[in-house]
Amino acid sequence: MTLKFNNTLTGHVDEFVAQQEGKVSLYTCGPTVYYYQHVGGWSAYIYWDILVRTLMANGYDVNRVMNLTDVGHLTSDADDGEDKLEVGAKREGKTAWEIAEFYIDDFKKGMKRLGLVEPQHLARATDFIPQQLDLIRQLKAKDFTYQTSDGIYYDTSKFIQYADFAHLDLDAQKAGARVEVNPEKRNGSDFALWKFTPADENRYMEWPTPADLLEGGSTTDNKMGFPGWHLECSAIAMSFLGNTLDIHTGGIDAIPIHHTNEIAQSESATSVKFSNYWLHNNFLKVNGTKISKSLNNGYTLDDIEEKGYSLSDFRMFVLQGHYRNEGNFTFDNLTAAKNRLNNWKNAAAIRHQINSTDGDKSVAPFAASQAIIEAVNDDLGTPAALKIVDEAFSQITAAKLADIDRGALIQVLETIDSALGLQIIDSTPDISDEAKQVIMQRRQAREQKDWAVSDRLRDQLLQMDIVIRDTANDSIWEYKF
């Protein structure tokens, strides 16, 4: 099967070819761990989970790295403002180290709650300070850096291809149009590799600046500092995956600055392409507006569950949209996703009601499994994959039980779980023997046209959270949602 992705690097859909047969190196930009993740962030990680599952479905051994930004992500793209971890520390009266530990733990728990495939490597930026300093050292040796009063910067004018990835018009950009003016920067697009700790600032996270990175190699200033945000991704990715990655993923907001800077510093240091494929997810809005603290619309996983939804409902909502299209989270949309998932669960429950030796098994949706994989192989086409499942389940729920191939149905469910991660099989258990006995008694009452007993037994089943759907041929039980 052909696997295709919309590659930001080339600007069109490319067939995927790994550098090494059967193996994929994949890097995902991870969270800045200073607060709870909201639905926008989680939607991205769900999409990249589908990427991992798709690669695995195609037989690839995936070596995936995700960073955890626990230092260096400043509140401004202009390389100034406070470090977000330091902001979190002040907000909660803790140290930045404690903030990082708490929200890293929360993020890991969230990944498990959503059923995300865990990366092989979850790497904290603070664990890779030596590697980040080595990368600065390589850049300095090649004359890509310069020093100002507040740090060590990368000179973007020396990387001729700097504007190519994001199609930036640097000539039209005046200093300060994209970022705030720093009079010591040579170019408005230059970015900090290493920031010096201001003399009047007390930081929880800081490290000695190596003398060989300073102009003149002087140690007299005893400069303490911390890495710029962009540096960690390059250092961590190349430490685990080598100089050239197969795939790098992230949000579209990272294209013009963060990912552009990653490419510049990485390729300047190694003289080879940093990543062959770049995949970017679009924004998720809430009620048609950008997620922001002022609107208090950054809903968390706990918020979703507290309102009576499951995280599988949220996952279904996310998969209903394509990763490259802008999404809109509303609770009405989440309800629609919940209803769709419930319909799928009732279709899945049919497997418990089929006698595999009955009938000619004319309803055998084997083709659906293959079609689901083909859909996600086409640039992670989850909306198309869901439509295929809808059609297969509509066929199943309309058929006589005796005509359904139980093995084919189970195969479809297994594909849904492995490719889409919706945990359909685990969430659709068989009913109790007691409930089955009541259903048999009700069937007998209907055969005897004893409608009063039939209705009473139906009500008894409702008390057991079981709904009966009577057709011309069968009485099919479903879950009461």
Both 412 and 471 in a single domain? no
pLDDT tens column, 415-462: 999 999 999 999 999 999 999 999 999 999 999 999 999 999 999 999
Are 270 and 413 within one domain?
no
143 within some domain: yes
- Residues 388, 341, single domain; the answer is yes
What proportions of the chain, in percent to the nearest 5, are helix, strand and coil?
Answer: 45, 20, 35
Q: Indicate if 171 and 53 belong to the same structural domain.
A: yes
38 and 186 part of one domain:
yes
Pairing of strands 23-28, 245-251: parallel
Which residue, chain included where needed, has tokens 């390589």? 138
Give the domain extent around 106: 4-281
Q: Which helix (H) or strand (E) holds 64?
A: strand 61-68
Do 9 and 129 belong to one domain?
Answer: yes
d(CA 33, CA 41): 12
Number of domains present in the structure of the chain: 3
What's the confidence (pLDDT) of residue 176? 47
Predicted local distance difference test score (pLDDT) of residue 217? 66
pLDDT of amino acid 174: 55
CA distance 344 to 412: 11
Classify residue 296 as left (phi > 0), alpha (psi -120 to 50) or beta: left
Which DSSP state fits 61? E
Residue 458 covered by a domain:
yes
Same domain, 219 and 259: yes
User: Same domain for 203 and 337?
Assistant: no
CA distance 112 to 126: 24
How many residues make up the chain in this entry?
481
In a domain, 61, yes or no: yes
Q: Are residues 337 and 462 in the same domain?
A: no
Strand, coil or helix: what is 389?
helix
Name beta bridge partners: 191: 154
Q: Examine the domain organization and report whether 54 and 96 are in the same domain.
A: yes
Query: With a cut of 70, which residues of the chain have pLDDT below it?
Result: 173-181, 217-221, 356-360
| pTM given for the model | 0.95
Beta bridge partners of 284: 327
User: Are both 23 and 55 inside the same structural domain?
Assistant: yes
From 420, 441, 465, the end of a domain falls on 420
Greatest extent of the chain over all pairs of C-alpha atoms, in Å: 99
Is 166 found in the same domain as 56?
A: yes
CA–CA dist 244, 241 (Å, integer)? 7
